[in-house]
Amino acid sequence: RSAIMDYFEIKGSKKLYGSVKVSGAKNAVLPLMAASILNKKKIKILNVPTLSDSITMSKLIEEMGGDVKFDSDNSIIVDSSKLNNPYAPYDLVKTMRASFYVLGPLLARFKKAKVSLPGGCAWGPRPVDFHLEGLKSLGVKISIENGYVVANAKQLVGNKIHFPKISVGATGNIVMVAILAEGTTTITNAAAEPEIQQLCKMLNKMGAKISGIGSNTLSIEGVKSLKPIKEVSVIPDRIEAGTFLIAAAAVGGEVEIKNIIPEHLESVINCLLKANIDINIKDNSINIKSDGKNILSTNIETNEYPGFPTDLQAQWMMLMCLADGTSTIKENIYYDRFTHIMELNRLGCNIKLEDSVAIIEGNKNLIGADVMSTDIRASAALIIAALCAEGTTTISRVYHIDRGYNKIEKKLTDIGANIIRKK
Ligand code: UD1
């Protein structure tokens, strides 16, 4: 785990050559670990990314009385048989909002839970009202006490739930309760993200009856009990893959991105093609070739899956700073997610913000500077910018990046980047 003072020193203008093996998805492993609370026996989770977020979730499970063992082969064994304390404290939830994923499985298993409300995040408020309203409609009694959600569920009954906006986390939490409720639950405007699909498939293996997986309407027929399963393997991280694709496009070179499911990256691939980047798609990998020049300005909007992911918005913005003209990015998921603009501008980018639309002037020559990461994906954009910039850039607060990227400096060094972690 990285120390709080770690920073990256990056010397730019070196092209990237070689191959990158993508790790398991952060946004899949966290709900799968939460779901293992419902497994009540040992489960081996394979292809687990080494991230501080995976460690936070394992601490949380241990705090509740469960046991998590990390193996050397990127797998973990979660044993929730003795888990008996349905309580998620503030000090863990505040470092990782996805801790809130334990609320659903705790309620389904213990009929009660006390979980800290996550606070805001670097780019603004991130409410959990959809989670709480959805749970209430399944019969859960909820009160907020001293910053905690205190929830009780004597009887869980299926219902019709419509989310005002698609929410990944709320879909996951509601599904994990509805599978053990009496009767049928229908969720409309449900998330179709691959990570939610994987969670639903794992739950079905355990005996749940969820249909409509991968669409925006989920139908869940409640069952009396679940049966334990022995193993699940985390899907590849489409955001990490997308980050390396955009890095290769921006910095230039020839890179093979391996261990991925290209289908999960369709919107990103389409945008890269529109931007004139040379891409060759294979079964489980993508080859990308770029000279870092002749990039065409391409307007995008972030959207729910299968749209362009908000988690790649910052990285894409960086790429567009090198493109041949003006382009725009409209952020439809988190209207305030733009803290990276000021840092990118310090490296010589020219980005303005009008409402939730970023306007990017391309054709920029970036020059190294000292910058600061503000969140996981903003940090990734800064790393890409630094790799394109002339001279040296330092990026402080890399603990943000350690939350979501598995050994990013090693993976980049292996393809020729000059990036060093310093303390
Ligand atoms: C997940 C991802 C995160 C990604 C995001 C959007 C994980 C661990 N994290 O976060 O990386 O950026 O999806 O793809 O998977 N909302 C409400 N009320 C709620 C819940 C959500 O208003 O109760 C709003 C949010 O403010 C946001 C939108 O719904 O505008 C989508 O958020 P959501 O899908 O819930 O994000 P997370 O699940 O937290």
Taking the CA of residue 27 as reference, the ligand 1 atom at the shortest distance is 15
The rounded distance, in Å, linking the Cα atoms of 266 and 218 is 23
The rounded distance, in Å, linking the Cα atoms of 197 and 246 is 25
State how far the alpha carbon of 406 is from the alpha carbons of 3, 34, 90, 106, 393, in Å. 15, 20, 25, 28, 21
Ligand 1 binding pocket includes 311 (Cβ within 6 Å): yes
Residue nearest to atom 4 of ligand 1 (CA): 311
**Centre of ligand 1 from the C-alpha of residue 98, in Å:** 10
The rounded distance, in Å, linking the Cα atoms of 295 and 293 is 5
- Token pair for residue 359? 């306007």
**Centre of ligand 1 from the C-alpha of residue 11, in Å:** 34
Taking the CA of residue 376 as reference, the ligand 1 atom at the shortest distance is 11
Ligand 1 binding pocket includes 310 (Cβ within 6 Å): yes
CB atoms within 10 A of CB 355: 8
Taking the CA of residue 310 as reference, the ligand 1 atom at the shortest distance is 12
Q: Which 3-state string (H, E, C) describes 336-369?
A: CCCCHHHHHHHCCCEEEEECCEEEEECCCCCECC
Ligand 1 binding pocket includes 130 (Cβ within 6 Å): yes
The tens place of each residue's pLDDT in the chain, 423 residues long, gives 456 789 999 999 899 999 999 999 999 999 999 999 999 999 999 999 999 999 999 999 999 999 999 998 999 999 999 999 999 999 999 999 999 999 999 999 999 999 999 976 666 667 899 999 999 999 999 999 999 999 999 999 999 999 999 999 999 999 999 999 999 999 999 999 999 999 999 999 999 999 999 999 999 999 999 999 999 999 999 999 999 999 999 999 999 999 999 999 999 999 999 999 999 999 999 999 999 999 999 999 999 999 999 999 999 999 999 999 999 999 999 988 999 999 999 999 999 999 889 999 998 899 999 999 988 999 999 999 999 999 999 999 999 999 999 999 999 999 999 999 998
Residue nearest to atom 17 of ligand 1 (CA): 127
Ligand 1 binding pocket includes 335 (Cβ within 6 Å): no
Provide the 8-state DSSP code for 304. Answer: S
Ligand 1 binding pocket includes 169 (Cβ within 6 Å): yes
Largest Cα–Cα distance of the chain, in whole Å? 63
Q: What is the DSSP string of 230-287?
A: SEEEPPB-HHHHHHHHHHHHHH-EEEEEES--GGGGHHHHHHHHHTT-EEEE-SS-EE
Provide the 8-state DSSP code for 295. Answer: P
CB atoms within 10 A of CB 164: 9
Taking the CA of residue 309 as reference, the ligand 1 atom at the shortest distance is 14
Ligand 1 binding pocket includes 30 (Cβ within 6 Å): yes
- Residues noted as catalytic: 121
pLDDT at 5: 87
Ligand 1 binding pocket includes 238 (Cβ within 6 Å): no
Ligand 1 binding pocket includes 314 (Cβ within 6 Å): no
Ligand 1 binding pocket includes 378 (Cβ within 6 Å): no
The rounded distance, in Å, linking the Cα atoms of 134 and 187 is 9
Residue nearest to atom 24 of ligand 1 (CA): 167
25 closest CA partner among 241, 176, 297: 241
**Centre of ligand 1 from the C-alpha of residue 183, in Å:** 27
334 closest CA partner among 395, 372, 376: 376
Provide the 8-state DSSP code for 307. Answer: S
Residue nearest to atom 19 of ligand 1 (CA): 128
pLDDT at 4: 77
The rounded distance, in Å, linking the Cα atoms of 323 and 317 is 10
Taking the CA of residue 131 as reference, the ligand 1 atom at the shortest distance is 23
Angle, helices 26-35 vs 238-251, to 10°: value is: 170
